[in-house]
Structure 1
């Protein structure tokens, strides 16, 4: 199924759309897009914007740690074969493990963590997050299952980031034995 979906995604996206996908993905590299969104939220969104941006970046940090720091070294999955990808974007992909997609993990983490603080921002951020996920398969950098795993990690990072203050309070408020 991964092979079939990867080949279809790489061959069926029209060239102008593929270029637009690449622009968004390039902005998301190194979390530039999410840092920019956080800066805009902090400047324009007041307390609510700062809270949404801070939650988003915290979740991105957790997602990157889990996906790139823990899962990629353990999985060591090769990227999709170059023969499956009928365009030249396949030459510009990393040598690291394919599983999971760290870009997708970060994008989903930001959108999902920002949403509770400011639902409209979360919904708007879901659009580039989806674009990043599609582009990672279309460019030949990942299998669809890598992207799905990245999305799950992103959701988990957002959940953890939202719950961690309560978990810490619960752990520190227990009486000593």
Structure 2
């Protein structure tokens, strides 16, 4: 019980710091990136560009990235959010109006972060340069989820683990399932 109280305290402190210390301008940029990532639009767009402009390597990266997003979304939103009924961080912790524009679903885990990390981690082995480019918006999405008051840092960390595991699973899919399209 004591460990849980300490863990919750760390979540509280980190959430309050992220929500209050990020300058407004940076917060607006983070919000714009998060909005682009809503419903995985950013990752689908990146996959389309990779497939169209990247040749064989781009198509392989796109297929891996989109496949990993699908797995991550299924695990995070389809399974984990249904099992974990964790409330969002208290509105009193967030000193800006973004806190009023957040979903009513379970806070745990961050599905946005799961998708962002899944896409980036799955793309990187196929096309390291594209993976490096995707890493910045993926990190911005994760930070925005805490800064906006939509998630605790532990929700984002869990989403990142789900995303990394999803990418790992997709990259190890049997040869005919994933690699035939390349």
Deviation at 1:165, TM superposition (A): 1.2
Deviation at 1:46, TM superposition (A): 0.7
1:95 aligns with 2:93: no
1:49-68 pair list within 5 angstroms = 49-68=58-77
Q: Could you tell me which of 105, 121, 126 is aligned with 1:112?
A: 121
Q: Could you tell me which of 43, 48, 62 is aligned with 1:39?
A: 48
Q: What's the CA shift string for 1:97-129, capped at 9, x where partnerless?
A: 000000000000000000010011111111100
Report the CA distance shift for 1:148/1:167 in structure 2 as closer, same or farther (over 3 A).
Answer: farther
Distance across 1 between alignment mates of 2:24 and 2:174: 45
Q: TM-score scaled by structure 2?
A: 0.91
Gaps of 5+ in 2: 1-9, 178-182
Deviation at 1:166, TM superposition (A): 5.4
1:121 aligns with 2:122: no
1:77 aligns with 2:103: no
1:7 aligns with 2:33: no
Residue aligned with 1:153, SS: helix
- What is the CA RMSD across the aligned residues, in angstroms? 1.1
Q: Could you tell me which of 159, 163, 170 is aligned with 2:168?
A: 159
Distance across 2 between alignment mates of 1:165 and 1:8: 44
Deviation at 1:79, TM superposition (A): 0.1
Report the CA distance shift for 1:91/1:159 in structure 2 as closer, same or farther (over 3 A).
Answer: same
Q: Which runs of 4+ in 1 moved over 3 A?
A: none
Q: TM-score scaled by structure 1?
A: 0.93
Residue aligned with 1:141, SS: coil
